[in-house]
Amino acid sequence: MCAAALVGMAGCHPHVTPHGPSPATPVAGSQAPLPPAPRWTALQRAQLSRTLADTFASDIFDSGGLVVVAQDGSVLFGRRARAPVTPASTLKLVVGAVALNALGAQHRFETSFVALDVPDAIGVLHGPLWLIGGGDPWLASNDLRGGVGVLRRAGLTRVEGGLIVDDGAFSGPEQNPRWDPSDLVEDYAAGSSAISLDQGTVEFHVIPGAPGSAATVKIEPPNEAVGVSGSIRTVGPGYDTDLSIERKVEESLRKVPARNTFVVDGSIPAGDEQTFWKPVLGFGHYVAGAVAGMLAQRGIGLTGGVHVGPAPLAATSLWTHRSPPLAMILREMLVESNNHTAEQLLRIIGESDGRAGTSESGVAVEEKELRRLGVPVDRMRVFDGSGLAPSDRIPALTLAELLAAELRGPARDVFLRSLPLVGIEGTVRHHILTDALGRARAKSGHIEDVNALAGTVATRHHGRVAFAFIVNDPRCDADVVTEAQDRALEALADS
């Protein structure tokens, strides 16, 4: 059997999961220079400043940072603009811009099966089968099933050297130790790995039986590296679902478990099948268990067990899956505020000179790129890519200056269209706009005591402006905050 017969290429398509990425259309960048925007006169600046000062008159805004900058980066309005504030998910703008600048809009992330040789004439692979992770944020179980299917159709019948998962491109704790401990059990706080699968989570399908009987709990993908204990009762129709699925914590985040054990409890009404997602740890072992199950389902024998370790440099590629282009991944991250994608991208940009990517190295790359763009970083102290860490701090001016720099850069069209349209889509669809509708694009951010909005508005007379409106106050969810943000966007659109 020749090597070429075993080389496969998965389709480059977005992965649609109940909780994960949805299809989006990548857009091409533009290299043409921006035409100069009409200059702001001193009177126009003063009028805009007075309007925004009146708009943000509530003392709620005294706790955060507010800033608007012109297309050239000059400040049009500011209040505590240089003060370090908690940005929540508006921090995703930083990792998104830096990843786009570093990798390019058409970059794709690769995941591969490799071996030291091809299978023999009867389909036996003498030696290990390695699975190498490339950090793909959208890698899904069906992608790996497709890869296993390619191997089986090419004649593979048995692997005699074991399955080895290479997740060495990333390093450090899978879940960020700066995150709130209460978040660590939720799917939006899934960890990062070079071989992260299904957005870093495992699916639980809870299938009720007859009232009084135990419900059936199935996991997807099937995996002997996941244990389930406890039971969920089936109750009569009309009752509310009242159940819990909790990962059993036996080791600290620094000691990655080889097995994820979940305890289930509670009740579910008859006839109401439901699906839940929970984060896993020890991705290398978890994915190895999932792939071992996929091999078995396709009748491919596996001897030698499953392991985690580095793949040889001189291996033969048997199958490679390429992700959708970064432009598509970036848009989904910003529109849907995908924490997992942001964390994956942070570690990806942190890889350099053969060193594994960590959150810390990714932040260092972000700071270096912002300095190159002339964006102030002296008061920036961030610890993740998603903004989930309550201890993240960044000035509103840094976010706005970065936005302005990106809108002057060669990838501005891709970056601009990756931002959701305010009042129309994604996490900013609840805003109510009139003149600014279709002209304002922004990323929102919400964690406890934080309400943030940062983006750009196409003004009537002065091209685009960039803004960051960040509130750090226990009253941040009051209607006055969103109403003021919307009035400010209208004033900018009309300027």
Better-predicted residue by pLDDT, 24 or 121: 121
Closest CA to 256 of 247, 265, 243, 264: 247
pLDDT on residue 31: 53
Tokens 């995908």 -> residue = 338
Q: Taking residues 291-314, what's their average pLDDT? A: 95
Better-predicted residue by pLDDT, 224 or 257: 224
Residue 11 has pLDDT above 70, yes or no: no
Residue 236 has pLDDT above 50, yes or no: yes
- One DSSP character per residue, 273-334 reads -EEEEEE-S-HHHHHHHHHHHHHHHTT-EE-S-EEE-PPPTTPEEEEEEEPPPHHHHHHHHH
pLDDT bracket for residue 352 (50, 70, 90)? confident
Tens-place pLDDT, residues 376-431? 999 999 999 999 999 999 999 999 999 999 999 999 999 999 999 999 999 999 99
* C-alpha pair distances (Å), 159 with each of 306, 374, 409: 11, 53, 50
Tens-place pLDDT, residues 434-463? 999 999 999 999 999 999 999 999 999 999
Q: Taking residues 18-38, what's their average pLDDT? A: 52
Residue 4 has pLDDT above 60, yes or no: no
pLDDT on residue 257: 53
pLDDT on residue 151: 97
Q: The tokens of 85 are what?
A: 């504030």
Residue 25 has pLDDT above 50, yes or no: no
Q: Taking residues 33-40, what's their average pLDDT? A: 76
Give me the half-sphere count of Cα atoms (radius 13 Å) on the Cβ side of residue 59: 1
301: CB partners within 8 A, 6+ apart = 157, 158, 159, 295
pLDDT on residue 37: 76
| 3-state secondary structure at position 409 | coil
pLDDT bracket for residue 250 (50, 70, 90)? low
Residue 28 has pLDDT above 70, yes or no: no
CA dist., res. 304 & res. 486, Å (int):
61
pLDDT on residue 335: 98
CA dist., res. 133 & res. 169, Å (int):
7
Amino acid of residue 144: L
pLDDT bracket for residue 33 (50, 70, 90)? low
CB-based burial label for 165 (10 Å; 0-12, 13-18, 19+): buried
Question: Omega into 33 within 30° of 0, i.e. cis?
Answer: no
Average pLDDT score over the chain: 91
Tens-place pLDDT, residues 260-272? 999 999 999 999 9
CATH fold of 42-105+340-493 reads: Beta-lactamase (3.40.710)
Tens-place pLDDT, residues 118-154? 999 999 999 999 999 999 999 999 999 999 999 999 9
Q: Taking residues 280-301, what's their average pLDDT? A: 96
Q: What percent of the chain has pLDDT over 90?
A: 87
pLDDT on residue 30: 44
Q: What percent of the chain has pLDDT over 70?
A: 91
- Asked if 76 and 49 touch (Cβ cutoff 8 Å), the reply is yes
* Cα–Cα–Cα angle for 16, 17, 23, rounded to 5 degrees: 25
- One DSSP character per residue, 32-67 reads SPPPPPPPPPHHHHHHHHHHHHHHT-SGGGGGSEEE
Tens-place pLDDT, residues 144-198? 999 999 999 999 999 999 999 999 999 999 999 999 999 999 999 999 999 999 9
In the chain, list all ranges with CATH 3.40.710.10: 42-105+340-493
pLDDT on residue 39: 87
Amino acid of residue 145: R
pLDDT bracket for residue 5 (50, 70, 90)? very low
